[in-house]
Structure 1
Amino acid sequence: MLALLWQWLIEPFAEFDFMLRALAGCIALSLSAPLVGVFLMLRRMSLTGDAMAHAILPGAALGYLVAGLSVEAMTIGGLLAGGLVVILSGFVARLTESGEDSSLAAFYLISMALGVMIISVNGSSVDLLHVLFGSALALNDAALWLLGSVTSLTLLLLALLYRPLVMECLDPDFLGSVSRMGPVAHIAFLLLAVLNLIAGFHAIGTLMAVGIMILPAITARYWTNRLSHLLMISVVLAMFSSLAGLLVSYHLGWPTSPAIILTLGVCYFLSIIAGHRSGLLWRYVRRAHLQA
């Protein structure tokens, strides 16, 4: 029994350095991205994360085509592209009658199409797949340093801005009346979202990065409504899914990034059924208890 557990759970990481690197990178991402996802969910901005994930694509694609698998070039390009889309969408929303959500949707769709076009015209199908779906099993030292740095910065800024972020989620008008930290917290939070999506892009690709940010937060909501518990459960779910996805990918030969996100999907559907706060089974049990 112990030999079987070693073979299935420990041996891939003990025998292969690329598996250990992939685990380290995914764990680092799991410590920060789900925390940002919780605040996006509480602000009803879950789809904004998806928009920003697609918005970084043309910048990352240009960096990839210019410098190859250069973490620095792709990160700078993605950061510039994501920041430009966020700024332009906010600018258009304020100058016109268009809502911020619709302007952001327009810019991210244009940005995504531009990124795919850049790669398709100047690269290959392999290049496109790498940018869209990532390469968790090929993380190098530079990528791990980036993931660790983004995680550290995220934890630090969230600790410093925790109170204004919570107040902005609950009542932004009240925050604006008692403090000038609202705009600072909002801009810093959007920057953290872009940085975590760029970090996730290096690990699991631009199409999958938003999954490890949003799915743990949505899933945790079925188990608790306390913010501190939401943050902890989302991180645990992301870590578990990263480990399980890597093991499934290793033993079954499945693509790593989809395996991680599909593991999160399984957790989500199980939570819909059995979640302690609002799962279907608990709702049925409570209803039966009240009727009795």
Structure 2
Amino acid sequence: MKSLLLNPVLNKEFKLRLRSFKSYLGILIYLLVLGTIGIGFIFLTTMNARMGYFRPEESRVMFMVLSMVQLALILFMTPGLTAGVISGERERQTLNMLLTTKQSSGSIIIGKLLSSLSFLLLIIVASLPLYSITFLFGGVAPGTILATFGLYLVTILTIGSLGVMFSTLIRKTIVAMITTYGVALFLTAFTAFLAMLSIQFLSLGGPNQAQNPIPYLLLMGNPAAVLITVFEPSMQKELLDQSGISIPLWISYLFTCALLITSSLWISIAKLRPNMKGKRSKRPKE
């Protein structure tokens, strides 16, 4: 823990990121997008209501809309912040200089990951006042808000670890970024599409169809599906009944994310430094 707090890579990245005007501009744009969606939702709802009231049920819908939009923004921003942390150093020809320091491979990878994700966490924390609107009108339990932000944290760590891994394995930043976006798209849209197809095929068998765990297994790594089950527990119950699995989807999601984070960081640390032993063994003896 002490080595993490005294990590020079992490301290340098913190200072450089917070000195940039683009960081504050990014936070401003992020909050403007969420604020515009929230205020626009309230305006449209009150305009269409007969008495002009904003009911607690509508506040719950607004919270769900803001949460899904924020999850989409997280999935969009995380690859851009993490997929170039190592490949960018390689393109600037500063990676070899970084590797000659006393910092271990694990310290460099963890420092790069945390410095990139800390900015995204700062943006999420800055959006908390917007969610206070739901407390003003009611309709959302505090446990739901905590579960939502916990899901954000796990998703950020997972996509960020994958971005660092691809940044380590791939030399070009643009290629690493596209690959990370592709994996994020696969975990969300593609798995949801396959799950919907499998559910449609199962529905063709009639009411006496056998239980099939395929939709559940496909959605184990889908953050959007887990977020929907947090909002609508009845959908999770229906999914568990169809699959015959009694484990809640969010527990399987945590297990899947833990596996992805561990394997991605391990590969990144192992592949950061070139393997010089094999090259030395191939040298001819004098």
Normalising by the smaller structure, the TM-score range is: 0.3 to 0.5
Q: Which structure ranks higher in relative contact order (CA pairs < 8 Å, sequence separation ≥ 6)?
A: 1
**TM-score, L = length of structure 2:** 0.34
**TM-score, L = length of structure 1:** 0.33
